[in-house]
Structure 1
Amino acid sequence: MSLKIIIVGGHGKVALRLAKLLSSRHEVTSIVRTPEHEADIKAASATPLQLSLEESPLSEFSKAFEAKDVVYFSAGAGGKGGEERTKAVDYEGAVKVFDAIEAVQGKKPRLVLVSAIDIRDPEKIPAHYTEEDIALSKRVRGAIPAYIKWKYEADKNLAKRTTFKWTMLRPGGLTDEPGTGKATIGRTHLSPTIARDDVAAVLALLAEREDAAGLGIDLVGGETPLADALDAAIKKGETDFLG
């Protein structure tokens, strides 16, 4: 079944891979901030749309989401501009997208949000974490505290939404190594790293997985074929977002 899909943050490394995968079967629009990025979107066989999470009004996003089946949120400040910009993009930009979906008249698109593993209430250490997980968590949280804080606030906001269906994908550390087509998916440990190719492939699979609604799904490197691992995690029905 061909879907109408729109990607927010379309020029990101994962998003470009995702557009290329989706465009072979679906109609894909990718939102970018500047016209300089449009050629890369077209090279991925998607249609560029210029909007800014920071500057464009909510109404323009809502209009862009009309008649769409799936919205992907894959935007992020990428550590540029300090905490103020991280908050503006990773939190306020995400909330703008959530509100814009809610403002769509009639059938609302599903949302697939790219978050990150270990985004959680800092006071709640998951019971399955090992000492190695806890040490890695502390190290990462100490290195990028603003990112962790504002991604958590965005995810916490999304988890309360009930007017549209949503899924969070929570990958671990990312690499640009070639994808393996395999991973560990579901409540897991914080390592090993995973290739952006494989994250994009799992995101593409989620386009047609309405049964993943309401789930936060962890994703790290592993040995299980992606489709099988994702299917098992969805059937388990256990969210990995421990907000």
Structure 2
Amino acid sequence: MKIFIIGITGRVGSLLARSLQDRGDTVSGLVRRPDQQSALQDAGIVAAVGDLTALTPEGLAELTGDVDALVFTAGAGGGTAEQTTAIDFGGVVTAIAAADLRGIRRFGLVSAFPEAWRERHLGAGFEHYMDMKKHADQALTHSDLDWIILRPAVLLDEAGTGRIALGPAELHGDVPRQDVADTMAELLHEPQITRQILELNHGGTPVAEAVQAAVRR
């Protein structure tokens, strides 16, 4: 497959790129700076330079090229409320429209587990972030695309286990970013997973088996 990643330099996006390359996929993506473009080129990845918050759907569609799938893993990463709105919601809306214009049917979105850290009462900024994630999910579900929404639990920067819990309703916990990346890669390659929202937590089922179990029978 040819797959374009928005957020390819982020912690999940970069792991996803490597996971897809390991499967033999051709990976490209969007970066903000030319130095990021050069670094990815050294890894065999073609990157287009552009500011997601300034791009029109037409502009983004031109940058994606002809690919089989588009994946959105970008996020404001604790920025201002305006940045969160522009990237976590507005960026997804732009990407949906760009995919539609380009004829890219497959669209993967890494979202957020609805229960993530709600017990910590992290304040208005975090609640706004969760609200924008939900608005982005809604926008994608209202599209005609062949979409997948993956809602991971709290993300960990540790080695992946290769074993997960995946389904429409999972208990909240934590999950390594590597397992998130590997799960999204597996989902993209399973055409029977379509127009589904799946929650992801650590678990005991191998990734490939968990994805097959999530196929609607």
Question: TM-score, normalised on structure 1?
Answer: 0.82
**Secondary structure of 1:30's match?**
strand
**Secondary structure of 2:99's match?**
helix
Distance across 1 between alignment mates of 2:31 and 2:160: 25
Pairing of 1:60-209 with structure 2 (within 5 A):
60-80=59-79, 82-104=80-102, 107-118=103-114, 136-139=117-120, 142=123, 144-162=126-144, 164-186=145-167, 187-191=169-173, 193-209=174-190
RMSD, matched Cα: 1.9
Pairing of 1:13-92 with structure 2 (within 5 A):
13-24=11-22, 25-80=24-79, 82-92=80-90
1:19–1:45: 8 Å Cα contact kept in structure 2?
Answer: no
**Secondary structure of 1:61's match?**
helix
1:210 to 169, 186, 191: 191
Aligned residues: 214
Cα offset, 1:114, TM superposition = 0.6
Cα offset, 1:207, TM superposition = 2.1
2:29–2:64: 8 Å Cα contact kept in structure 1?
Answer: no
Distance across 1 between alignment mates of 2:120 and 2:44: 39
Letter in 1 for 2:26: E
**Which consecutive unaligned segments of at least 5 residues does structure 1 have?**
119-132, 237-243
Closer, same or farther in 2 for the Cα pair 1:220/1:140, shift >3 Å? farther
Letter in 2 for 1:72: V
Give CA-to-partner distance per residue, 1:34-88, whole Å, 9 cap, x none. Answer: 11222442354321111211112221211234421010011110112x1011000
**Secondary structure of 2:158's match?**
coil
Distance across 2 between alignment mates of 1:4 and 1:40: 20
Equivalent pairs: percent with the same residue? 31
**Secondary structure of 2:181's match?**
helix
Distance across 1 between alignment mates of 2:207 and 2:87: 29
Question: TM-score, normalised on structure 2?
Answer: 0.91
Give CA-to-partner distance per residue, 1:130-175, whole Å, 9 cap, x none. Answer: xxx69x534366471111011111111111112x211101100001
**Which consecutive unaligned segments of at least 5 residues does structure 2 have?**
none
Closer, same or farther in 2 for the Cα pair 1:83/1:230, shift >3 Å? same
